[in-house]
Amino acid sequence: MELKQRYIVVEGPIGVGKTALTRALAKHFAARSVFEIIEENPFLASFYQDRNKYAFQTQLFFLLSRFKQQQELFQQDLFSQATVSDYLFAKDRIFASITLDPNELALYERVYQHLGPRVMKPDLVIYLQARLDVLLARIRKRGRDFERKFDAEYLAELSRTYNDFFHRYDETPLLVINTSDIDFVESDRDFEELIRALGSIKAGTQYYQPLGTRA
């Protein structure tokens, strides 16, 4: 099956499985994959040690590096090959809203307002959710050094803010998936069901329910 959407974004809180699903979709559809550059942020490890002190530097670095990556990506011909990305540019504001103090956030928003309109919107956003215990388990499993002492309260707040953001999101078609009890990477059946679901995506927000969980 050919991918109807030329540009798909996979989103969700830390640990939910964005990158893994992006890789799987790109491989299945022979699409170009775009990954958020996490480890290159020189402030990130310090941020996890002292969020208040390093939040603004961390967030501004992410905003500018994501913008640069988006600009380079879409200087290419988007329609020559489908693209799957593991982040939505607008997600940067989710993190900023919970990490920055009011003065920092006001300055951040001034920068964002100049950059956001210059980024291409996707044809579809896939929003992945999961319970907090599942997110923490997945973070521990991937074993990144700077995430070893991950703050569960911060992750819970981040998940709530993601839910609030996508509850109001209407800029593109949106597919919401709770991944707490499914695994698109380890389970061929889960992945194949998702592929079939992508073929019937319509405008607005839709909620994906795997066949095995339907009453």
- The domain that contains 83 carries what CATH number? 3.40.50.300
Listing DSSP states for 155-193 in one string gives HHHHHHHHHHHHHH--SS-EEEEE-TT--TTT-HHHHHH
4 located within any domain:
no
Establish if 122 belongs to a structural domain: yes
Task: Determine whether 119 is exposed, middle or buried from the number of CB atoms within 10 Å of its CB (0-12, 13-18, 19+).
Answer: middle
* Catalytic choice (50, 77, 86, 101): 86
Contact indicator for 25, 31 with CB cutoff of 8 Å: yes
Q: What is the pLDDT of residues 123-177, one digit of tens each?
A: 999 999 999 999 988 888 776 665 566 788 989 999 999 999 999 999 999 999 9
Q: What long-range pairs does 190-196 form, CB within 8 A, spacing at least 24?
A: 191/24, 191/28, 195/1, 195/28
Task: Find, among 15, 18, 27, 33, the residue nearest to 126 by Cα.
Answer: 18
Q: Is 86 a catalytic residue?
A: yes
How long, in residues, is the chain? 215
Task: Indicate the SS3 state at residue 148.
Answer: coil
Predicted TM-score (pTM) of this structure: 0.89
| Structural domain count, the chain | 1
At residue 98 the predicted structure's pLDDT band, cuts being 50, 70 and 90, is very high
Nearest to 115 by CA among 42, 197, 60: 60
Residue 57 domain boundaries: 37-187+195-213
